[in-house]
Amino acid sequence: MGDDVILSGRIDSVQREVSRRGLMLSLSGRDNAAVLVDCAAPIYNARQLNLDEAISAIVSPLGIKRVRIQAAGVTRNDMIHIEPGERAWDALVRIASARGLWPWFEPDGTLVIGGPDYTREPVATLQLSRTENKTNVLSLVDSRNISGCYSELTVLAQSHATLADSQLVTLDVSDPQSGEPSATEEDTEQAGATGHYNRSHTERDPTVEWYRPQILVVGDVDDAQQLTYRARKAMADARLSGLDITIEVPGHRTPAGVLWTPGQRIHVVSEPHGIDDVFFLMGRSFNGGRPGGQTTTLRVKEDGVWIPDAYPNSKRKARRKKKKPELVVLNVWDKKS
C-alpha cells in the first residue's frame, strides 16, 4: 500500500471467469504461515536444544529463512519430539507455548516467536462521542461473552526423566554395619527420579465472579516452569475471549501516517459504551472502493493480557507519560539457502 508492505506470501488459487458480462480474475492467497499450516513437520527428535535451534529445525526445510525471537529470554528444551504427520504449525505452536510465546509473521515475511511489548505508547486516540465534532470513528461494536472464560483453569501434565535425573549413582560398599550397597548423600541428591506423572498448575481469573472451572491436559513438559507458562497462556486466551471490540475508522493510517498494524496500542474512548482505556490491536482489515471509500476495520482486545510472559518484568504503561525503559536486544538470524 503505497511504499509500505502489508503482506508477504503466496497465491493459493487463481480463478478466471468469462461470461457475457465480461472477464473476471479472482486471486486468493495467504502469508508465509500457509506452508506451515498445510504441510507436515520434518520427523525430528533431539535433546538439549535452545528455542531458536528447535524452531529452525522445523521451519527451515519448508523455506522459512528469516526468524526473530521477540522475548526477554528463552529456555532450553530438554527433549523435542515431532510425531509423524504432525503439522509444522502445530509443532511450532507447541514448542513456543512451552516458553509462553506465540508465532506470527510480519508483513515482510519474517517469522516472529515472542509476544508484544506493552510499554509502547498508544499510536492514536479513537473517540465515539455524543458530540459529533469529537467523533473520529465510523462505528464501534463492543461484544462480551462469558462462555469461554473460567474462574480457574488447571493444566495437567507429566514430565519425562531429564538427563540430569538420569545420572549414575556411585555405590558405597564399604559400610561394614549394613552390608548393603548404599549411595552417598551427595550422589542421592543427583540421582533424581525417573519422571513426574502428576504435575498440575492452576491459574485464576478474578474478573470471573462465579465458579467456572476448567481442566486441560497438555501431555509432556520438561519441568514445572513449562507447565506454568502453558497454564498462564491458556488462561490469557480464555480471558481474551470474553471481550471483543471492533472499530471501523476512515482511511488506512494512524494520525502519524503509519499503517494500522497488529501489535499497536490504541486509546479508545466511547461515551455510549462507557469505555475509556488502552486496548491492544489484534487484527485489522483494509477495505476500499465504493461507496464507502477507504476504511479500516480494527479488532482490539484487553491490553496487557495476550502473551503475558514474553516480557515478564515490564509492566504495561498507563496513558500518562513515563520514561520508556530500555528495550531488550532481539535475536535475529537469516539462514542462507
Mean pLDDT score of the chain: 82
Reported as a single tens digit per residue, the pLDDT across 37-75 is: 999 998 877 766 788 888 888 999 999 989 999 888 776
Domain spans in the chain, listed from the N-terminal domain onward: 1-118+317-337, 152-238
Fold of domain 1-118+317-337: Phage tail protein beta-alpha-beta fold (3.55.50)
115 and 232 Cβ atoms separated by less than 8 Å:
no
**Reported pTM:** 0.76
Q: How would DSSP label each residue in 87-145?
A: BHHHHHHHHHHTTT-EEEE-TTS-EEEE---TTSPPSEEEEE-SSGGG---SEEEEEE-
What parts of the chain have a pLDDT lower than 50? 165-192, 318-331, 336-337
Q: How far is CA 331 from CA 55, 181, 314, 323, in A?
A: 13, 50, 19, 24
For 203-252, the pLDDT digits (tens) are 999 999 999 999 999 877 778 888 888 899 999 999 999 999 999 999 99
